[in-house]
Chain A
Amino acid sequence: MKRETRRLLKKFFSNFSACLGFVLLVFFFIVAVGAPYIAPPKSARDPYMMPIVTWSSNPLPPSPEHPFGVAGKRDIFYGVVWGTRTAFRIGIIVTVVSTLIGLAVGSIAGYFGKLVDEILMRITDIFMAIPFLVAAIVLATILGAGLDKVIIALIVFSWMYSARLVRGNILQVKEEQFVMAARALGVSDFMIILRHVLPNSIFPVLIQASMRMGSLVITAAALSFLGIGAPQGYADWGALLNYARNWMMGSQGEALRYWYMTVFPGVAMVLFVLAWNLVGDALRDVFDPRLRM
Chain B
Amino acid sequence: MSSAVILKVENLKKYFPIRAGVFRKVIAWVKAVDGVSFEVLGGESLGIVGESGCGKSTLGMTILRLYEPTEGKIFFNGQEISGLPFARLRPIRKDMQMIFQDPFSSLNPRMSIGAIIEEGMAVHGMYSPRERSSKVQEILERVGLSGNYARRYPHEFSGGQRQRIGIARAIALCPRLIIADEAVSSLDVSIRSQILNLMSELKEEYNLTYLFISHDLAVVKQICDRVLVMYLGKIVEIAGKKDLFSRPLHPYTVALVSAVPVPDPDYKVDRIILKGDVPSPINPPSGCRFHPRCPVVQDICREVEPSLREIQEGRWVACHFPGSLGLKRTKEVGVEC
**Direct contact, A vs B (beta carbon within 8 Å):** yes
Q: For B107, list chain A residues within 8 Å (CB).
A: 178, 181
Contacts of A199 in B (CB 8 A): 108, 110-111
Query: How many residues of chain B are within 8 Å of chain A by beta carbon?
Result: 30
Question: CB-defined interface of B135-163 with A at 8 Å, one 1/0 digit per residue?
Answer: 00000000000000000010100000000
Contacts of A185 in B (CB 8 A): 93, 97, 119-120, 123, 169, 173
Give complex CA distance A293, B124 in Å: 34
For window 173-214 of chain A, which residues contact chain B by CB distance below 8 Å?
176-178, 180-188, 191, 195-196, 199-200
If over half of A's interface residues share one DSSP class (helix, strand or loop), that class is named, otherwise mixed; here it is helix
CB of A292 within 8 A of chain B? yes
Which A residues have a C-beta under 8 Å from some C-beta of B?
A: 1, 4, 176-178, 180-188, 191, 195-196, 199-200, 289, 292-293
Given contacts A180-B66, A199-B110, contact A186 B123 (CB under 8 A): yes
Cβ-closest chain B residue relative to A184? B98
List, sorted by A's number, 29 A–B pairs whose CB atoms are closer than 8 Å: A1-B153, A176-B106, A177-B100, A177-B101, A177-B106, A178-B107, A178-B108, A180-B61, A180-B100, A182-B108, A183-B66, A184-B96, A184-B97, A185-B93, A185-B97, A185-B169, A185-B173, A186-B89, A186-B94, A186-B120, A186-B123, A187-B119, A187-B123, A195-B108, A195-B111, A199-B111, A200-B108, A200-B109, A200-B110
Considering the complex, give the chain A residue whose CB is closest to the CB of B108.
A178
Within the complex, which residue of B64, B91, B124, B153 is in contact with A4, where a contact is CB–CB below 8 Å? B153
Chain A residue at minimum C-beta to C-beta distance from B120: A185
Judged by a CB distance under 8 angstroms, whether B309 is at the interface is no
Contact across chains for A181 and B111 when beta carbons are under 8 A apart: no
8 closest A-B pairs by beta carbon, nearest first, are: A186-B93, A177-B106, A185-B120, A186-B90, A199-B110, A178-B108, A177-B100, A184-B98
The reply to whether the CB of B128 lies closer than 8 angstroms to some CB of chain A is no
Chain B nearest Cβ from A173, distance in angstroms: 9
Chain B: CB-nearest residue to A182: B119
Smallest Cβ-Cβ distance to A199: which chain B residue: B110
Q: Which residues of chain B are near A181, meaning CB under 8 Å?
A: 98, 100, 106-107, 166, 169
Does the CB pair B66–A184 fall under 8 Å? Answer: yes
Closest chain B residue to A177 by CB distance? B106
Query: Given the complex, which residues of B lie within 8 Å of A196, measured CB to CB?
Result: 108, 111
Does B216 lie at the interface of the complex (its beta carbon under 8 Å from any beta carbon of A)? no
B residues in contact with A184, CB < 8 Å:
64, 66, 93, 96-98
A184 and B62 alpha carbons, distance in the complex (Å): 11
Instruction: Name the CB-closest residue of B to A180.
Output: B66
In the complex, chain B residues whose CB is within 8 Å of the CB of A186: 89-91, 93-94, 120, 123-124
